[in-house]
């Protein structure tokens, strides 16, 4: 058998015994009271003054056009002044409120624009970091990126070695006129000397110079 709902239960209006609940309820109900008073002023053009003392002896007030004027009218039993001064003050107050609302709207629009620009800059910065992640500090690079960087560095090392070898192969050879300790170097020097008419031979103890046809000293 389906259980019948009792519907919304009426809360018994008694003083709360728990102080924390009392303060929370007072704050909520006070805000609701002031909101309803503001709506009444806007809808009906009523002049309202509300003064509330909290359980902690703090005073809160709400008034339209202001608490002082409404209380003064109540105490003196005077009707609202029809003089131009009060109307001028009210018009000035309304104009100030409208101007402040316009300024607030402009500031909110500027804030929204700056927020959008900040989001775009953040996206651009992130995209740039994703494209050039290897330029980030090494301690901020993940494991996958480090492995990619290692492979790229090894490939770069191979390319540098190949290029260096190519440059050395294409570089001009050094001159043959130099002294060395190997027999091959001596032979090269002897050949070059014969072609120039100067006899130059290598001996175990030094050099032998000769002129003409193999003259040795």
Residue 51's closest CA among 40, 78, 37, 14?
A: 37
Q: In the beta sheet, which residues pair with residue 89?
A: none
Judge contact between 14 and 32, C-beta under 8 A: no
Provide the pLDDT for residue 113. Answer: 87
Q: Length of the chain in residues, anyone?
A: 217
Provide the pLDDT for residue 183. Answer: 47
Mean pLDDT for each 10-residue chunk of the chain (217 residues)? 62 77 86 89 86 88 86 77 63 74 85 88 76 71 83 90 89 59 47 44 41 42
Opening angle at CA 182, ends 180 and 183, nearest 5: 115
Provide the pLDDT for residue 158. Answer: 92
Provide the pLDDT for residue 160. Answer: 92
State the pTM of this model: 0.33
Q: Superfamily for 19-80?
A: Transcription factor, MADS-box (3.40.1810.10)
């Amino acid at each position: 058998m389906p259980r019948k709902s009792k519907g919304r239960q009426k809360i018994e209006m008694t003083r709360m015994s728990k102080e924390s609940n009392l303060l929370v309820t007072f704050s909520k109900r006070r805000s609701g009271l002031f909101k309803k008073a503001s709506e009444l002023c806007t809808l009906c053009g009523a002049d309202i003054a509300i003064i509330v003392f909290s359980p902690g002896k703090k005073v809160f007030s709400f008034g339209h056009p202001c608490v002082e004027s409404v209380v003064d009218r109540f105490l003196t039993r005077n009707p609202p002044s029809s003089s131009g001064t009060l109307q001028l003050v009210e018009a000035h107050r309304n104009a100030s409120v409208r101007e402040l609302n316009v300024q607030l709207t402009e500031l909110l629009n500027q804030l929204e624009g700056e927020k959008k620009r900040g989001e775009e800059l953040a996206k651009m910065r992130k995209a740039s970091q994703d494209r050039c992640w290897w330029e980030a500090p090494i301690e901020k690079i993940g494991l996958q990126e480090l492995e990619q960087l290692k492979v790229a560095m090894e490939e770069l090392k191979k390319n540098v070695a190949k290029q260096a070898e190519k440059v050395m192969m294409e570089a001009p050879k050094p001159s043959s006129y130099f002294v060395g300790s190997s027999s091959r170097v001596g032979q090269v020097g002897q050949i070059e000397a014969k072609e120039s008419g100067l006899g130059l031979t290598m001996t175990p103890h030094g050099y032998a110079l000769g002129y003409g046809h193999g003259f040795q000293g």
